[in-house]
Amino acid sequence: MNFEEELKEVLEKNSQNALNALNTLFKNIPAKATEIDINIFTSQDGDGFFSIRADLNGPDLYVLNKEIKDCADIFDPRIIDGEIIPYVPTVDPFDTELEINDIVVDCAAAWIASIWPKVNKQSCQLPVSIIGHDEYGTTTPLTLQ
């Protein structure tokens, strides 16, 4: 199995957790928010490690984003006792010719888009975009709503 296939499989296994995180986020969007960005942050090393976090746009960004700080993480692997939890595949960036950060962003954006129809967005009708941080990805920005 190659890196992209393994990443897609891992993301699919985490779909319910991401859906729960998105539903919690939407319940907590402040009234003054004007837009939601779902940012995919890749590792500077290009090793496949990444996280997905929501940020709000609108007046007084600091205050808006402080209001969702406890529910903004949609997918946030951590290294705990030498183990990545939840697991994501990684590579040695010096052993591959692939643009790993582009692959990560494209896979993660497609994954978020695939679970998007199941998100309970009724309480919030703001525009939502998926963005590859530092302009990684070949399919982002991607507008969802």
d(CA 12, CA 144): 19
Task: Report the pLDDT value the prediction gives residue 93, as an integer from 0 to 100.
Answer: 78
Cis peptide bond N-terminal to 30, omega within 30: no
Output the pLDDT for position 95.
78
Q: In the chain, where are the structural domains located?
A: 3-143
Residues of the chain with pLDDT under 70: 123
Q: What's the pLDDT score for residue 121?
A: 75
